[in-house]
A and B are shown apart, each in its own frame.
Chain A
Amino acid sequence: MTHLQYFNSFILLFAFLFVTACEDNPASHNDHDHHFQAIGLHIMNSGDTIASYIGGNVLGSINVNVEDMTPLLSVKFIAEDGEIGIPEGEEYGFDWEIDNSDIAEVHTHDDELDEYRFHVRGLRVGETKIKLIINHNNHKDFESKAIPIIVTE
């Protein structure tokens, strides 16, 4: 075998290897455009806004008495384009995190969850905070800043 033949054989081998090792990226996906693009929210009681997370700031609070429950509160999310609404589709879910669950807790029924509605029950006097979350498949699409819950006598 001449030097040139040797060299050509090597080049062919490596070109072959380069082409052989091709596959799809394990993290490739096409759902970039299907996230619910919320950047804020309003918490409403009978059409009145009682608390908001807007422009990175939290305004207002959820107020409830001990051993009492708020009326049904509804959440309306503010999207990037200014639209106000809630996510639609089975892939989305409503969730929350309360800092101190000894002070207050959330009550919902299944149909209320789908509509992003909930009650807050006061357990003992004090102040805690709640973050409201939109889950999308197995990740979060949105998580608000902590919104105060004030429980009084």
Chain B
Amino acid sequence: MRLLIKYVMAVFLSAITLVLGSPVGTSSGGSLVGHIYDQETGEDIGWTTVLLEEINRSVSAHSDGEYHFFDIPVGKYTLKAFRIGYHDYKSTVEVVENQQIQKDIQLSQKVLFTEEVTVESQRYKKTSDLQQPDIEVSGKKLRENIGLTIAETISSEPGLSQRTMGPAPARPVLRGLSGDRFLMLEDGERPGDLSATSSDHAVAIEPISADRIVIIRGPEAMLYGSNTLGGVINVNRNYIPMMLPHRLTGNFALHSESVNAALASGAKVLFPVGNFALKMDGSRKTASNINTPIGELKNTTIDNNNGSIGVSYFPQKGNIGSAFSFYNSNYGIPPQPDSIGGHPMGVDIRMERQHIETKAEYFPGFDWLHHIELKHSYKRYQHAEFEANGQVGMRFGVLTHDLSMLFHLAEHGVFSRGVFGLWFENRDYATSGLSFTPATVEKSLSLFHYNEHKMGEFAFNFSARYDIKSVEPAVEKIIVRADYSNHIHRKIFQNFSGGLSGIFAIRRTCSLGIQLMRSYRAPGIEELFSEGPHLAAYSYEVGHANLKEETGIGSEVFFNIQRENLKFHLAVFRNQIDNYIFPMNTGRTSLRIASLYLYQYSGEDVVMQGVESSLNWHFTSSFILNYSMGYTEGKIQQNGSYLPQIPPLESNIGLVYEKKALTLGANLKTAMKQDKLGEFENPTGGYAVLDLNVQYYFKMNKFLHTITLTIQNAGDTEYRHHLNRIKEIFPEPGRNVKLLYKVYF
């Protein structure tokens, strides 16, 4: 609390300095208002995002189609409007001093595109339709797939799977890459949790609070990290309001699941106070033990709560905002009673995270520079792992500062959109319990650039990045144990990474592309210095301080069809990673804690290659066929053996019927058997699981109500997922009836 008070005072005092010096009050701006309606029917179109591009100021139109911008600097602007189901709108508008300009917007419907209700705003679009589309889960798709975790919510997307260890700790896997090789971000920032380091650590992001989940792949992903062969997942929480609403807006959600008696609720409000926008949200989730077709999986309860408050100020040439959030989670890791490394009663984890961030954007009005973005965030994370008798196995604490400065370049010649940036992170890591891992501080500094270009039938994306990282333990020492040894000492890593993709338009709706990426990943603290039991992961982990950095070369060829009624994507990829670091099971138990297997981190040269494809075909005005598949094979090059924890061939085929406000869907999820196994890994059989879905929405008194009913595993099929760490003990959950009610205002 003292920290929060200090931080809030710092923000307040500093903001006063900025506000007093800002042009507000010394020069007058104008305002822009308007009404958005359907060009064909004349009906109001609510919840449309309207953007003034030059100052990056956006608002969401209200349910009656009205939008308002206040206190806009005098000048000419590009006005854009986005709404799913409609063609994008672009126009110019001139704001005049002390005047209110009226600008109505007519949107035309996309042919054969049935009604979609997406309420959350969309601020950025690719420069060219040629460029590889990001995978986006928002609006109807987000409501249909929302699960207990972010990983579960996006797991039906092509090439994606999830690594689980009970229902709470789940981490997405893309093309066999997971952990910090497939970065998970919250509002563009690392969440500061430990989910990337072990399969029992949960992600500290609540799905019901997410506005949108976007998976960014290719060179653009290098904006967020040097190790993004898999890409990055960005969960838009919008802690800091980036738009000044005209009046109170928000939503309320209620979500239940039958398979574990889960109940979640969340609410969010955004409202103006003069030139300030204030945003508050909160959610709570509880779940009992999960049921499978062969019985209850013990110790899988979940009890989460989280909340945030954010405020932004909008002077004429930019904005500045700050937010605070907390996330608390108590969850269980199920027992493995009959095996070495198991715990007869399971392990309980108590996790908490607090986060404070401040963000400012400044629009200098230069030809070449669109705006400057500065961001600071501080995350305080801790979790403890308890045995059934209340004994602490391990306690982790991580304090993370992130500071970034981004220069967003304006369109200039062939350069369409670009970012030049600097990022610094200070990460303070400590453990207690039976742990010999020294307290360690990691410092990382990155310089990076990304640009998009379009020249006729060609489009190019390019990124380059240089990273330097020091890993400094509190004490330097040589450890010689009976069963392993390590030399704890300061390490410094530095290297280049980058990416290039080129896309050629074969025809107006068909394109062929190629992508090359070079990634770099410095070993983490756990991989270098860890020494101690990790109860929830059923392992005694030992680091290896002489590990070298991972470097990867990723190549991909892809083919896209983007027609109004048909979208098709096919990609063939190959990722070669030298010195791929992973905890290798030594096959021996720890001498110190004999119930745990000894895992020691080591680096091997590996290759992961595969294919993925997706299809979205509106074959009539009401029927849509969806198909996606992904296959990855991972091998250790030195001995030709398979990598562990690689998913088998997985696919989804679905049929959707949409008529006005009603949507009916059925989806068959299939997986082949996985018998390409890593050391000490067991095979899993193939399966087919049917999911059913109904969605309906209606408007009443300026409120938009959405109801989503989903039946997962409708046949109550017993199946085992290869990336589930406890698959030998229990199968996946049985039939699950999920209900989500969400109202927007």
Residue positions of A touching B, CB distance < 8 A: 1, 3, 5-7, 9-14, 16-18, 20-21, 23, 25-29, 31-32, 35, 37-40, 53, 55-56, 80, 131, 135-136, 138-146
Check if A26 sits within 8 Å of B397, measured CB to CB: yes
Among the listed A1, A3, A31, which residue makes an inter-chain contact with B22, where contact means beta carbons less than 8 Å apart?
A: A1
Q: Which residues of A contact B382 (CB under 8 A)?
A: 26-27
Whether A143 and B18, one on each chain, are in contact in the complex, defined by CB atoms closer than 8 angstroms, is: no
B358 touches A27 (CB 8 A): no
Contact of B433 with A by CB under 8 A: yes
Stretch of B5-13, B81-89, B135-143, B638-646 with 4 or more beta carbons under 8 angstroms from chain A: B5-13
Question: For residue B596, which residue of chain A has the nearest CB?
Answer: A143
Contact partners of B15 in chain A: CB under 8 A? 13
Give the residues from 608 to 665 in chain B that come closer than 8 angstroms, CB to CB, to chain A: none
What residues of chain A lie closer than 8 Å to B392, measured between beta carbons?
138-139
Measured between alpha carbons, how far is A145 from B391 in the docked complex, in Å?
19
Task: Tell whether A23 pairs with B401 under 8 Å between CB atoms, given A17-B10, A139-B392.
Answer: no
Which of B317, B433, B589 sits near A56, CB closer than 8 Å?
B589
When chains A and B are docked, how far (Å) is the Cα of A80 from the Cα of B481?
Answer: 6
A7-B17 in contact (CB<8A): no
A35's closest neighbor in chain B, by CB? B434
Question: Smallest Cβ distance from B9 to chain A, in angstroms?
Answer: 8
Select A144's contact among B380, B393, B435, B594, beta carbons within 8 Å.
Answer: B594
Residues on B with C-beta less than 8 A from A17 are 7, 10-11, 14, 358, 376, 378
CB-contact partner of B372 in A7, A26, A139, under 8 A? A7
Q: A16 — which chain B residues lie within 8 A by C-beta?
A: 10, 14
Q: By the criterion CB–CB under 8 Å, are B430 and A27 in contact?
A: yes
Residue of B nearest to A33 (CB): B436
A16–B13 CA distance with the chains assembled, in angstroms:
10
B interface with A by C-beta (< 8 Å): 3, 6-7, 10-11, 14-15, 17-18, 21-23, 317, 356, 358, 360, 362, 364, 372, 374, 376, 378, 380, 382, 390-399, 401, 403, 428-436, 438-439, 481-483, 533, 588-589, 591-595
The answer to whether residues A27 and B397 also contact, given A6-B362, A39-B482, A140-B593 and a CB cut-off of 8 A, is: yes
Please give me the residue from chain A that is nearest to B594 by CB atom: A145
Can you list 20 residue pairs at the A/B interface with Cβ under 8 Å? A6-B317, A7-B372, A13-B15, A14-B358, A14-B403, A18-B401, A26-B380, A27-B431, A37-B592, A39-B481, A39-B592, A55-B482, A56-B589, A80-B481, A131-B594, A135-B391, A139-B392, A140-B391, A140-B533, A143-B592
Residues of A within 8 A of B403 (CB): 14, 18
Contacts of A40 in B (CB 8 A): 591
**Chain A hits for B7, CB < 8 A:** 17, 20-21
Give A13 to B15 CA distance when docked, in angstroms.
8
Q: Are B396 and A27 in contact (CB under 8 A)?
A: yes
Say whether, besides A56-B588, A143-B594, A14 and B374 are in contact (CB < 8 Å). Answer: yes
Kindly provide the distance from the CB of B514 to the nearest chain A CB, expressed in whole angstroms: 39
Residue of B nearest to A141 (CB): B434
Rounded to whole angstroms, the CA-CA distance of A46 and B592 in the bound complex is: 26
| Cα of A5 to Cα of B6 in the assembled complex, Å | 25
Closest 10 CB pairs of A and B: A27-B397, A13-B14, A21-B378, A39-B591, A145-B594, A29-B432, A1-B21, A26-B397, A25-B430, A28-B430
Residue of A at shortest CB range from B598?
Answer: A56
In the bound complex, what is the Cα–Cα distance between A18 and B317 (angstroms)? Answer: 24
Q: Which residues of B contact A139 (CB under 8 A)?
A: 391-394, 433-434
Residues of A within 8 A of B533 (CB): 140
Selected contact of B6 from candidates A20, A56, A80, CB within 8 Å: A20
Q: For residue A9, which residues in chain B have a CB less than 8 angstroms away from its CB? A: 14, 17-18, 21
CB distance from A2 to the nearest CB of B (A): 10
| Shortest beta-carbon distance from A128 to chain B in Å | 15
Partner pick for B399 among A18, A25, A37, CB 8 A cutoff? A25
Contact B436 A32 (CB under 8 A): yes
Is B3's CB under 8 angstroms from A23's CB? yes
Measured in the bound complex, the distance between the Cα atoms of B405 and A14 in whole Å is: 10
Which residue of chain A is the closest to B588 with respect to CB atoms? A56
Per the bound structure, the CA–CA distance linking A143 and B374 in Å amounts to 51
Q: In whole Å, how far is A92's beta carbon from the nearest beta carbon of chain B?
A: 12
In the bound assembly, the distance between CA atoms of A23 and B398 in angstroms comes to 11
Contacts of A131 in B (CB 8 A): 594-595
Q: Are B432 and A10 in contact (CB under 8 A)?
A: no
Q: Say yes or no: B391 contacts A56, CB within 8 Å.
A: no
- Give the distance in Å from the alpha carbon of A140 to the alpha carbon of B532 in the complex: 11
Q: Tell me, rounded to whole Å, the shortest Cβ–Cβ distance linking B740 to chain A.
A: 35
B594/A31 in contact, CB under 8 A:
no
List the B side residues contacting A80 at CB < 8 Å. Answer: 481-482
In the complex, which of the residues B3, B374, B429, B432 has the most CB atoms of chain A within 10 Å of its own CB atom? B432
Find out whether the CB atom of B376 lies under 8 angstroms from the CB atom of A14: yes
Quote the shortest CB–CB distance from A86 to chain B (angstroms). 16
Closest-by-CB residue of A relative to B20 is A1
| Closest CB in chain A relative to B349 CB, distance in Å | 14
Select from chain A the residue with minimum beta-carbon distance to B404.
A14
Find the B residue at minimum CB distance from A53: B594
Q: How far is the CA of A109 from the CA of B560 in the complex (A)?
A: 76
Task: Compute how far the CA of A17 lies from the CA of B11 in the bound complex, rounded to whole angstroms.
Answer: 7
> In the complex, what distance in Å separates the CA atom of A20 from the CA atom of B14?
12
